[in-house]
Chains A and B, each alone.
Chain A
Amino acid sequence: MSARNPSLDGEWLDEAATHERLRRTWRDAPGLWGALTTLDHKRIGLRYIVTAFGFFALAGIAAFVMRLQLAHAENELVGPDLYNQLFTMHGSTMMFLFAVPIMQAAGIYLVPLMVGTRSLAFPRLLSFSYWIYLSGGLLLWVAFFLNIGPDAGWFAYVPLSGPQYAPGKRVDIWAQMITYTELSSIAVAVSTIATILKQRAPGMALNRVPLFVWAILVMSFMVLFAMPSVMITSTFLLMDRLVGTHFYNPAEGGDALLWQHLFWFFGHPEVYIIFIPALGMVSSIVATFARRPVFAYPLMVLSLLATGLFAFGLWVHHMFATGLPRLGNSFYTAASMVISIPTGIQIFGWIATLWLGRPRFTTPLLFVGGFIVVFVIGGLTGVMLASVPLDLQLHDTYFVVAHFHYVLIGGAVFPLLGAVYYWFPKLTGRLLDERLGKVNFWLLFIGFNVTFLPMHYLGLAGMPRRVYTYSAGLGWDGLNLLETGGAVLIALSMLLLAINIVRSLRSGAAAGANPWDADTLEWATPSPPPSFNFAHIPLVTGSHPLWESERLRVMRGLQLDKRELVLTSVLDAQPDLREPLVPPTIWPLLAALAVGGMFLASIFTPWAVIVGAVPIAITLTAWFWPKGKAEEEAEQ
């Protein structure tokens, strides 16, 4: 076909010509139009990453202001109204607009490369979901800067967040933002699952799939089952507030605890959704820098699956102080303790890999070391919180604040920063500075512990959460001041990371395809990869393709003049179909505008749901309407 050079009978084109044809077929339009219509998972993934870090910075600044306010007893830097908005924005942004999106973004960029395919499945859905994510996050922050930001906490318990005690639009905006942005999360999860199950390179059977990809797969399934819960929960709240329903109103048969059950049914899996991809990142980094595969691969996979599954059975541990029946509570104590076993197995697995290997202590591995030291503390305080009697003292105090920052920053941010140092060369073609990286790490490690370690004590000493100030003379003053000092160190370390990134982008050392001599397929592409990822789809014959042979085994035969990739079978990745891909299109953006418009208007009037359905129907129909003969010709 068009892969062969017609003038040389039966001969294939040479590599340079192949790349040239592929480049032409897979390129985006130039300039702004290209940016708006692109379906390249790498361009969209990068957008996600940059946006997520932008929200991270905003949420971090909010936290910094909170720490400034808490530095002294009865401080008057920030009043109660602004403080309540700050901690609500900090929590909501970190959880909904940073942590989940950044982990999904890592999957968006890396999974197709790691499984040896050319695109994420359903690329138009991916484009759509980015615009939803961006506009939802902007909506929330614009509201904050207009002083109508939500102020009922990221968890918005009723009745405080209900129509009677939270008048005005603040909580409405929050509730609708959640439903809206979780749409984006779900869409990406569906795409990712389809990619991992159907688009793997021929020969990449399930038992050869990299641990990072397994982690993203588990996380994506969790998203499918957890996110709908928070969408339903916040929609019920919005209905109570806007159209007079009584889901949460005890006076008319509703129940304030229904909110908590529905919210935490989402909320607990949510933290594992954030955590599990980080475990995948750790596996990638450890294997590469220990110079050997991760120890006990099957057990590591099972641990990921078990953690993802058990995570759905823990949510009541957020409600131990509400007076639910004891027998039920005991079940959740046991479940909350049992889930630490698979994680404990994984921690052992990574340390064993280092022990058996020849570790090279680069910055990514340093961050992994920091992850172990910090996260395990958080995991153990989690076991403490799993005990109902002990939780009755610790719940809603700074002890819990310490716990979840140890597991989230230790368990997700440290691996994430390690991943940044590890994959930055692949994304940009340049290496980050190692020395700056090590200073970055130590500043963060020290600053983090100075900020959050004392909080364990403060919680036991009686300091509750979500307080904009505290009385003098309770013994809390000195430690709070120290914690604010630690926050300064954290801010400096983040600044250093930003400086490292900017400098490297301008003048960093060039990275080749595989600067770390790693084993997975993404390192078989140039840095950064071309739009089509692989000129030829790889053929995988083992778990560590780049370590098993000097040559890259590939399959040829996909068309050069049409966008195409190969679908394989779920278990053994036998080649099955050629899948045509649609060219770049503006309809996902337009559809996102229609959906966003409807959601925004529905905050102000319920009729928007009916009226807004029309532009949505139009844009979605245009999106799916087949265009021209491209598809038909692909069916040969």
Chain B
Amino acid sequence: MSARDLDDRPLQFMGDLSQLPGHGHSHRSLTWWGMMGLICVEGTALALAAAAYLYLSSHERQWPPAQLLPSAGWGTAFTVIVLLSFVPNMVLNKRAEQEKLGPVRLWMVIMTLIGVVLVAIRYFEFRSMHVAWSDSAYGSIAITLLGLHTVHLVTDLYDSVVLTVLMFTRHGDTGRRYVDVAENAIYWNFVIYVWLPVYVLLYLAPRWL
């Protein structure tokens, strides 16, 4: 066919895109890339805060100064639960990729409840830090490090609540929604992974060094 573009360049039709599917999972979807971008940004911010923590600690002979060691109870409980949550999260991820409505609804509710529990534990963790951010540089960076991770935790929880609600509406059983659920699960994994170095820095390193 000798079609011409409206600007008079002759066109040559080479193929047909109309049979391509309308959504795909993981790195085939734009959502995944957006999520990865967010993870890069937030990961960098947290890494820099951790670097600041280490930098400031190198100035002090005793860190935390004046025996302000945080109690490790709540922090360790958080760590254990968040690590265990990896399992239901991966189940959710799998079911979302399989696009099974029933199991996805179930596991979204479970993950949301886990998130609520973790936020509650986090509240007690703050209290077991024994220091205010205005007390010293240690207080400032330690509370901020914990606070940064908490922001990730809380925003992911909110996100999960919205998604869970959506899964129970008429918008739930669509391809795009399953992609959103799977990507949200990836973000939760990020929340888990990025907690581990923070846990080591705040609770373990001061005890070992």
Contacts and interface: CB of A to CB of B under 8 A. Distances in A.
Interface of A: 1, 3, 14-16, 19, 121-122, 125, 186, 189-190, 193-194, 197-198, 202, 224-225, 227-229, 231-232, 236, 239-240, 243-247, 249, 252-255, 258, 261-262, 265, 512-513, 524-526, 535-537, 539, 550-559, 566-567, 570, 575-580, 617, 621, 624-626, 631-632, 634-636
A121 B33 contact: yes
A186 B41 contact: yes
B156 to A, nearest CB: 13
Contact of A635 (B22, B29, B48): B22
A526 B8 CA distance: 10
B33 A554 contact: no
* Chain B: number of interface residues, binned into ranges: 35 or more
A567 B38 CA distance: 20
A263 to B, nearest CB: 11
B56 A253 contact: yes
Given A552-B11, A557-B16, A566-B20, A189 B37 contact: yes
B100 interface: no
Given A255-B55, A577-B22, A551 B30 contact: no
A630 to B, nearest CB: 11
A252 B141 contact: no
A225 B36 CA distance: 12
B48 A228 contact: yes
A450 to B, nearest CB: 42
Contacts of A16: 6
20 contacts: A15-B4, A121-B30, A125-B34, A227-B41, A232-B48, A232-B49, A247-B56, A249-B137, A253-B59, A254-B56, A254-B137, A258-B55, A513-B9, A535-B5, A558-B17, A566-B20, A576-B20, A579-B30, A626-B176, A632-B174
A553 B14 CA distance: 6
B140 A245 contact: yes
Contacts of A580: 22
Contacts of A253: 56, 59-60, 65, 136-138
Interface of B: 3-7, 9-24, 27-30, 33-34, 37-38, 40-42, 44-45, 48-49, 52, 55-56, 59-60, 65, 133-141, 144, 158, 162, 166, 171, 174-177
Contacts, number: 208
B166 A626 contact: yes
Contacts of A186: 37, 41
B43 to A, nearest CB: 9
Contacts of B4: 15
**Cβ-closest 8 pairs across A and B:** A557-B18, A253-B137, A190-B37, A244-B134, A245-B140, A557-B17, A635-B22, A254-B137
Contacts of A579: 22, 30
Given A232-B48, A552-B11, A239 B38 contact: no
A566 B28 CA distance: 11
B49 A635 contact: no
Given A252-B137, A557-B19, A624-B162, A552 B37 contact: no
Nearest to B7: A513
Contacts of A512: 7
Given A524-B5, A539-B14, A575-B20, 18 more contacts: A121-B34, A198-B30, A228-B42, A245-B133, A245-B144, A246-B135, A246-B140, A247-B137, A253-B60, A255-B55, A535-B5, A558-B17, A578-B20, A578-B22, A579-B22, A624-B162, A626-B174, A635-B21
Contacts of A3: 18
B49 to A, nearest CB: 6
A536 B138 contact: no
B15 A536 contact: no
A552 B2 CA distance: 11
A245 B166 CA distance: 40
Contacts of A577: 20-24, 28-29
A225 B5 contact: no
B119 to A, nearest CB: 14
A227 B176 CA distance: 30
Given A15-B4, A239-B133, A555 B44 contact: no
